[in-house]
Amino acid sequence: MEQPLLIASDVDGTLLDDQDKVGARTRAAITRVVASGTPFVLATGRPPRWIPWIAEEAGIDGHAVCCNGSVHYDIGKDRILGTHTIAPGVLEQVTERLRAAIPSVNFAVERIGERAEDPGIVAFLTEPGYTHPWDGERPRQNAPTPELTAQPCVKLLARSAELSSSEMAGIVRGLEEIDLNVTYSANYGLIEFSASGVTKATGLAHLAAEHGVAPERVLAFGDMPNDIEMLRWAGNGIAMGNAHDAVLEVADEVTASNNEDGIAEILERWF
């Protein structure tokens, strides 16, 4: 590959190590990338409100593709530049069909305003029985299901403590009339839905086009199934050494793990 003109990285299990830190070697490589004028983009399942501290940790202030491609976020200006939402009617249909197929499931939705933290928006709304596999400081508000599905959202989350994420995704893909993209970024009984056809790849493709960069000059890093489309689309799709087997199968190359500065190992070829 020629020197990349745009670099995209997943966050969890890729950019961040297991202590939620960016390794010193990786940060130094990213600093050289940014100094060269090459955009370094975050491409993540996380919502924009979880991005600023990660950007500070990595030393970047450019753009992020959030919520698995549903949101285009300008980090430095703290502005939402574009969204793809799931309509209320689709939310209602999907939650009904999935609850019939997986009785133990509970739902949550991500909504978005004009900024990462918009006081006029309840960003994370959950059913009373919903639990995150990494619950804790995450802000949330409980509401009955009809309230969750009454407004558009940028991401629908479904959680079951009785199944793995891959098992849940398999069930969903076997159902008819689920007109949403389904994926997962951890195997803890949590799957994530975005609007039909919306993935990290589509979000990154839009951003690359804005920069006038062709796919073959894009370098992308990832580790979980929600990265697969992005790694396939990019000119050079890199799987981390700790990546899910499905990601390893589609990657052009495998680097060291997120705990071993795998991103830096690749970036140091050019920067």
Closest by CA to 199, choosing from 219, 182, 213, is 182
Pick the CATH number of 6-83+199-267 from 3.30.300.10, 3.40.50.720, 3.40.50.1980, 3.40.50.1000: 3.40.50.1000
**pLDDT bracket for residue 182 (50, 70, 90):** very high
Q: Exposed (0-12), middle (13-18) or buried (19+): which is 144, by Cβ within 10 Å?
A: exposed
Q: What percent of the chain has pLDDT over 70?
A: 97
pLDDT exceeds cutoff 90 at 225: yes
Domain with CATH 3.40.50.1000 in the chain: 6-83+199-267
- Is residue 125 within 8 Å of 140, Cβ to Cβ? yes
Burial of 35 (0-12, 13-18, 19+ CB in 10 A): exposed
What confidence tens digit (pLDDT) does each residue in 100-135 have? 999 999 999 999 999 988 888 889 999 998 988 775
Among candidate residues 120, 168, 202, the one with its CA nearest the CA of residue 156: 168
pLDDT per position as a tens digit, 1-13: 799 999 999 999 9
Whether 23 contacts 34, CB under 8 Å: no
Region of 197 please: left (phi>0), alpha (psi -120 to 50) or beta. Answer: left
Beta strand 218-222 with 124-126 is unpaired
Fold of 88-195: 3.30.1240
For the question of whether the overall pTM of this predicted structure is more than 0.85, the answer is yes
Residues of each domain in the chain carrying CATH 3.30.1240.10: 88-195
